[in-house]
């Protein structure tokens, strides 16, 4: 799914200050036959075909984008960071 195309014109995510609120808003849009709610590291997530792609992790909303998409975003946005659930400065690869 192309997330940029999906969100285009639907809402302005800057109004969402809390990850849990954002997760609650996004969940009904995604839930369906292939997308289910689940847990990742004890946190709420949405999964497609069993793989998490959105996680409500502490105060962050985490999206799985893939390496090819993530690398240029991280390079061009100082406020973005890789998902590091361990807190040991070892972000996941995608």
Number of domains the chain is built from: 1
Judge whether 94 lies within some domain: no
Q: Return the H-helix or E-strand segment holding 60.
A: strand 60-63
Judge whether 89 lies within some domain: no
Judge whether 83 lies within some domain: no
The answer to whether the beta carbons of residues 74 and 81 sit under 8 Å apart is yes
What's the pLDDT score for residue 71? 84
d(CA 80, CA 70): 10
Average pLDDT, the chain: 79
d(CA 9, CA 93): 30
Judge whether 90 lies within some domain: no
Residues 52-86: pLDDT tens digits?
998 998 888 888 888 888 888 888 888 888 888 88
On the question of pLDDT at 87 being above 90, the answer is no
- Mean pLDDT, residues 3-29 taken together: 67
Judge whether 36 lies within some domain: yes
The boundaries of the domain holding residue 36 are 3-76
Judge whether 70 lies within some domain: yes
d(CA 36, CA 64): 15
Beta bridge partners of 39: 44
Residue 19 pLDDT grade (very low, low, confident, very high; cuts 50, 70, 90): confident
């Amino acid at each position: 799914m192309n997330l940029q195309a999906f969100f285009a014109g639907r809402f302005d995510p800057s109004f969402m200050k809390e990850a849990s609120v954002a997760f609650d808003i996004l969940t009904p849009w995604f839930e369906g036959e292939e997308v289910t709610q689940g847990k990742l590291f004890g946190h709420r997530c949405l999964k497609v075909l069993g793989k998490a792609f959105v996680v409500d992790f502490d105060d962050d909303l985490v999206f799985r984008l893939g390496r090819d998409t993530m690398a240029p975003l991280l390079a061009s946005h100082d406020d973005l960071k890789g998902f590091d659930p361990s807190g040991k400065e070892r972000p996941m690869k995608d």
